[in-house]
Amino acid sequence: MFAIYLRVFTYYLRYWRPTVLATLLTVVQTPFSLLKPIPVAFLLAEALPAMGKPEHGLVLKLGDFFEFSLQPWSLPQIVLGCSVAIVVLHLLSAWINVVSQMMYYRVGLQGLLSLRVDLYSYLHALPLKYHDARRSGDSTFRVAYDSQSLEAFYSKFIFLFQSFKDLAGYVLAMWALDLKLTLLAMAVIPFMVITFRIFAKSIRDQATHISERESSVLSLAQEGLSSVRMVQAFGREQHEIQQFSNSARQSLEAKVRMQFTSMYSSMLTATLLMTSMALVCWMGGLHVLGGTLSIMSLMTITQYMNSLYQPIDSITSVGWDLERAAGAARRCFEVLDQADDVADKPGAPSITSTRGEIVCENLAFGYTPERRIISGVNLRIEPGQTVAFVGATGAGKSTLLSLVPRFYDPDEGRILLDGTDLRDIAKKSLRGQISIVLQDTLLFSTTVRENIAYGRADATDAEIIEAAKRAQAHDFIMAMPEGYASQVGERGSHLSVGQRQRIGIARAFLKNAPILLLDEPTSALDPTTESAIMQTIEELMEGRTTLIITHRIATIHNVDKIVVLGPGGVVEEGRGPELVKRGGFYAGLYYSANLGEHGLATS
């Protein structure tokens, strides 16, 4: 647990200057806080009882350390002075507190910002294998909610410091008035420490469980609402509602359990404090009756005790808060401690260009050790060559394409780019040489211009427009209300499937990378739109090394090479007409598509 605390505070080391300044202010505030009970106690115990006496003879005395005669002032003046002192001491203490707390608050939020940025950036850096194994809602919850534990740690530790500072001040002030009562008041502390240790682990574990339950609720809500069209189409509304309700109920029960634990522990600590208060009042009363303690001193002590027990109680409740925060912080650091198994090698060089020669040597990969997707793949793709991959569902076509930009690294074998192992090239520079067009182009909830320029943020408007024209997207973009400044909606919801695909192709034109990956770029389109899109894609493919996956045999029959993937890796490869003559797997696909009847060349 100490390791988590230590790690949290590494985020705040860079902000030590404002933290120290705020701490000095809280120290300056302490005397004003300690003086606040004295005007009230003096007014009630000394000034008001002296009313009607010819000579009041009042002396302001604080133990054996301070004594000041008030004889020159009249009782009304003394009463007024006490009243004014109450307000002045409060204002001085309050304003210093406001300034110091705002400084602490800002530092706390700056640390939170640092952790959130670290989490978000590291989640983007982690390989897809990590994300494949988790719901996106869980990662979102860790970034948006679990990360808030960092600010909670800082603020609670600052509060602990202030509580201990106040505690020390009140103890010293009480000590000056009556040593025995002070020791009696402090006797409760060991029992409170024992209570804290008994409940700490339970609260920490319950807090972690609540974070997991809340993460599950968020994930279900995201999945259900983002798929609402599918849910309604299949009439599964009740099923989704029931799933969400069950998850939300589990979260509710977890919160109820932790609330009971917190309230039960707080009740025990409050009982200990009240028992201590009763004992102090009893012994203090005996001291007053015995003439060893004045009524004003007893009243001051009891006010100090109210103030004393507040930081003691706060220390305990803050302890519970820290245990809850520790559970959430642990989930944040779990992400940051994840090993990046597709990391750059130390000193890996960046590339600025490539010929586009891709060679696969004895390639094998599986998403889990138990399930191998591709095995023994040997393949050479020449610069500027167009190679199509076909095969049954699950043969590893998309997986093979995912290895080229190093979304994953192979379990065995290697992929060479211009003779260099991909693992010896900096990932960012490698991906800068690759453009990707997917089956469903993902658009961000921003403008058309920003979506096209997503792969090249420094592109000029003229370059963006030229790319859109080459993708045959310019006309429909200009027909939109604000042209290139038009919002596309969440995930491009304001555009048709074909329009989204053209935006994706425009991205690839603008990036102008020498390697092009096409993963089912037309499978979601109707035949008319597919034909138009394919004309654009064929222009995009010119002069680039292109790897394409498609089930539309007519689309790839005459490309430079067709690779058929099966359970054992590469089943056959060659040009379309050659593969048809061989009568193998590809020939079956060819004739099942009735392409022979439509006059496609087979020789």
pLDDT given for residue 336 in this prediction: 85
- Do 261 and 401 fall within a single domain? no
Residue 111 lies in a domain: yes
Measured over the CA atoms of residue 347, residue 353, residue 355 and residue 356, the dihedral's sign is positive
pLDDT given for residue 523 in this prediction: 65
Residue 342 lies in a domain: no
pLDDT greater than 60 at residue 599: no
pLDDT given for residue 313 in this prediction: 61
- Do 48 and 145 fall within a single domain? yes
- 157-172 pLDDT per residue, tens: 777 777 777 777 777 7
The DSSP annotation for 14-49 comes to GGHHHHHHHHHHHHHHHHHHHHTHHHHHHIIIIIGG
Rounded mean pLDDT of 426-447?
A: 84
Residue 470 lies in a domain: yes
Dihedral pair phi/psi, residue 379, rounded to 5°: -160, 140
pLDDT greater than 70 at residue 6: yes
- Do 519 and 506 fall within a single domain? no
- 184-228 pLDDT per residue, tens: 777 777 887 777 777 777 776 777 777 778 777 777 777 677 666
**Of 472, 492, 510, which closes a domain?**
510
Residue 254 lies in a domain: yes
Q: Which CATH number characterizes residue 451's domain? A: 3.40.50.300
- Do 295 and 356 fall within a single domain? no
- Do 476 and 534 fall within a single domain? no
On the CB side of 184, how many CA atoms lie within 13 Å of its CA? 18
- 368-380 pLDDT per residue, tens: 877 788 888 899 9
Rounded mean pLDDT of 315-341?
A: 76
Dihedral class, residue 443 (left if φ above 0, else alpha if ψ from -120 to 50, else beta): beta
- Do 195 and 322 fall within a single domain? yes
Residue 71's pLDDT band, with cuts at 50, 70 and 90, is confident
Residue 239 lies in a domain: yes
Q: Of 45-49, 125-129, 350-354, 486-490, which gets the smallest average pLDDT?
A: 45-49
Residue 592 lies in a domain: yes
pLDDT, greater one: 600 or 210: 210
Rounded mean pLDDT of 479-489?
A: 88
Q: Of 55-64, 209-218, 490-499, which gets the smallest average pLDDT?
A: 55-64
pLDDT greater than 90 at residue 417: yes
Q: Which CATH number characterizes residue 181's domain? A: 1.20.1560.10
How many domains is the chain built from?
Answer: 3
**Of 458, 486, 510, which closes a domain?**
510
- Do 463 and 537 fall within a single domain? no
The DSSP annotation for 89-126 comes to HHHHHHHHHHHHHHHHHHHHHHHHHHHHHHHHHHHHHS
- Do 489 and 521 fall within a single domain? no
**Of 303, 336, 369, which closes a domain?**
336
Distance, CA of 432 to CA of 200 (rounded, Å): 50
pLDDT given for residue 315 in this prediction: 65
Q: Report the relative pairing of strands 412-417 and 420-421 from DSSP bridges.
A: antiparallel
- Do 423 and 449 fall within a single domain? no
Mean pLDDT of the chain: 80
- Do 316 and 418 fall within a single domain? no
pLDDT given for residue 307 in this prediction: 64
pLDDT greater than 80 at residue 435: yes
Q: Which of 288-292, 316-320, 539-543, 547-551 has the highest mean pLDDT?
A: 547-551
Rounded mean pLDDT of 579-586?
A: 86
Q: Residue 476 sits in which domain range?
A: 440-510
pLDDT given for residue 444 in this prediction: 82
pLDDT given for residue 415 in this prediction: 92
pLDDT, greater one: 242 or 166: 242
pLDDT given for residue 395 in this prediction: 81
In percent, the amount of the chain with pLDDT more than 90 equals 7
Residue 343 lies in a domain: no
- Do 587 and 447 fall within a single domain? no
Distance, CA of 565 to CA of 543 (rounded, Å): 25
Residue 504's pLDDT band, with cuts at 50, 70 and 90, is confident
pLDDT given for residue 601 in this prediction: 46
- Do 163 and 221 fall within a single domain? yes
Secondary structure percentages of the chain, helix, strand, coil, to 5 = 65, 10, 25
Residue 341 lies in a domain: no
Rounded mean pLDDT of 111-135?
A: 81
Rounded mean pLDDT of 115-143?
A: 80
